[in-house]
Structures are given as structure tokens and as C-alpha cells.
């Protein structure tokens, strides 16, 4: 089972028995918010729901009415890393999971755009939960997913349902120690050690 197919950390799988806790011995983050587009910061006014497509009327309203958002139309094609467009591959980590979501430029782009970050995460989270993953999940995790799926009126349980109703973009933060430990367990990190924590709210 790859790290992208693995269930969240609280699942009872053989490779996730180690409890990860912050310590002074963990490696320091190698990324900073200085290189990140302000709209992707945790303090960003951006409102984006991963349950909705870009063209969904409610998504358009979310973008239109994002607090203090001054730019029209939304700059989807702006570089996610405007001060370092040489970054061509990053990994997104999500709290309480072993997931590493690889983000790369679209085929017609030379750098990672805001849209690439949002759409790649959205595509990953919208994937159906496989039978294999479901079968190794703990009863508690299954209950969370079932309740989340029912609340959104879905007929198919998806990866985002593991997260208990957290579906909106909450910003990116530099990959911290626990994220880097997860990455080492999962395999080689992305180019340049660019690991970012994807917050969902």
C-alpha cells in the first residue's frame, strides 16, 4: 500500500503503529511562508471548498465573497511560489494522515500555480475509498467517514470523509518535523525538500 493510498494515522495499519509526537530532536522545516503566494497563507481570506468544483455556483460565490479579496477574476494561474518559480514539485501533508500529495506544474505550465495546488489536492481528496483501505480501518475511523459522507449527502465514501467534515482550504504551512518524519517513512521526499502542511477547516 503506497503512502497516498494509506488511511489516516489513526487507522489500525501495520505501518502506522508508531505515535509521532513533536520533540526537540525533529528536523527543522526547510520551507518558509516568504516564498508562498499570500492567497495560500493560513491567514489568507481565500474561501475554497474541496467538495465543490471550480465551476459550481457556490464555489464561485465563495471566491467572489472571500473577505478582503481585492483581485478579480481569481488569479488561478498565478505562481504559488512567486519568489521562487524554480520550485517544480512539492508534497502536501495532511494532519493525522500519512498522505503525501504530489503537486507539479500542469502540462502547459513551467511552474506550480495556485490552481495546481488546489486542483491536485481536490482530485486526491475526491477519490473513492477503496475496499482494501476500508477493511483495514478502525471502527472509529469508519464511523467518522460514514457520518461525514451522510452529512454531505454522498452515496460514495471518499478520502475527504476520513477528515470528519473538514472540507475547506485553510492555507499551507511549512512542513514541520512530524511531517518530515512521515515523509521519510513513506519514501523519498519531493525535489528540494519542499513539504507543505495542508490545513483543512
Q: What is the pLDDT of residues 28-78, one digit of tens each?
A: 444 588 889 999 999 988 999 999 998 899 998 888 877 555 566 778 899
CA pair distance 8, 188, nearest whole angstrom: 19
> What is d(CA 104, CA 146) in angstroms, rounded to the nearest whole number?
32
Compute the distance between CA of residue 176 and CA of residue 197 in angstroms, rounded to an integer: 8
Q: Is the pTM of this model over 0.85?
A: no
Query: Which residue, 177, 171, 180, is CA-closest to 33?
Result: 171
- Domain coordinates of the chain in residue numbers? 14-200
Q: Angle CA(153)–CA(154)–CA(158) in degrees, nearest 5?
A: 140
Bridging pattern class, strands 169-174 and 195-200: antiparallel
Amino acid at each position: 500500500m503506497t503512502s497516498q493510498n494509506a488511511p489516516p494515522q489513526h487507522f489500525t495499519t501495520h505501518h502506522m503503529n508508531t505515535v509521532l509526537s513533536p520533540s526537540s530532536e525533529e528536523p527543522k522545516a526547510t520551507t518558509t511562508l516568504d516564498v508562498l503566494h499570500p492567497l495560500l497563507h493560513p491567514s489568507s481570506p481565500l474561501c475554497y471548498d474541496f467538495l465543490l468544483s471550480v465551476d459550481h455556483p457556490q464555489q464561485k460565490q465563495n471566491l467572489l465573497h472571500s473577505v478582503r479579496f481585492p483581485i478579480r477574476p481569481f488569479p488561478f494561474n498565478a505562481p504559488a511560489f512567486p519568489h521562487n518559480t524554480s520550485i517544480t514539485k512539492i508534497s502536501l501533508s495532511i494532519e493525522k494522515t500519512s498522505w503525501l500529495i504530489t503537486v507539479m506544474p500542469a502540462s502547459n505550465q513551467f511552474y506550480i500555480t495556485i490552481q495546481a495546488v488546489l486542483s491536485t489536492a481536490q482530485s486526491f481528496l475526491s477519490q473513492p475509498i477503496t475496499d482494501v483501505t476500508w477493511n483495514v480501518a478502525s471502527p472509529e475511523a469508519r464511523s467518522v467517514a460514514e457520518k461525514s459522507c451522510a452529512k454531505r449527502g454522498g452515496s460514495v465514501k471518499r478520502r475527504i470523509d476520513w477528515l470528519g467534515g473538514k472540507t475547506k482550504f485553510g492555507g499551507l504551512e511549512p512542513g514541520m518535523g512530524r511531517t518530515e518524519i512521515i515523509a521519510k517513512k513513506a519514501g523519498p521526499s519531493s525535489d528540494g525538500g519542499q513539504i507543505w502542511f495542508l490545513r483543512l477547516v
